[in-house]
Amino acid sequence: MVIQTLNGHIETTPGINGGKARISGRRITVQNIAIWHERLGMSADEIATEYSLNLSEVYAALTYYYDHREQIDQSIHEDEGFASSMKANIPSKLKNKFRD
């Protein structure tokens, strides 16, 4: 079941991107947009241009993020923890290959 919000720009679908809110019809999550904007300092125009989105889609994602900030920030934190754990427990084949 697809749930659409913000005039159809944002949707959630169980089984796609872990059920995270995303741009309708795309695999770009609200979480991605939030990271690009808040942490990497990309403007809405830059995000729209880089990922072939309409400005309305980017602003809808940012609106959704600010309305659900605590939940999405928690998800970002959990994803970072998972990535750190994987990095610590699985050696890089590239790192060892280029060491020689």
pLDDT, tens digit only, all 100 positions of the chain: 666 566 789 999 999 998 999 999 999 999 999 999 999 999 999 999 999 999 999 999 999 999 999 999 999 888 766 556 566 667 766 665 555 4
Question: What does the pLDDT read at residue 61?
Answer: 96
Contact in structure between 48 and 14 (CB atoms under 8 Å): no
**From the candidate CATH numbers 3.30.950.10, 1.10.3720.10, 1.10.10.10, 3.20.20.70, the one assigned to the domain spanning 3-99:** 1.10.10.10
**What residues form DSSP beta bridges with 4?**
11
**Count of C-beta atoms within a 10 Å radius of residue 11:** 17
pTM of the model: 0.76
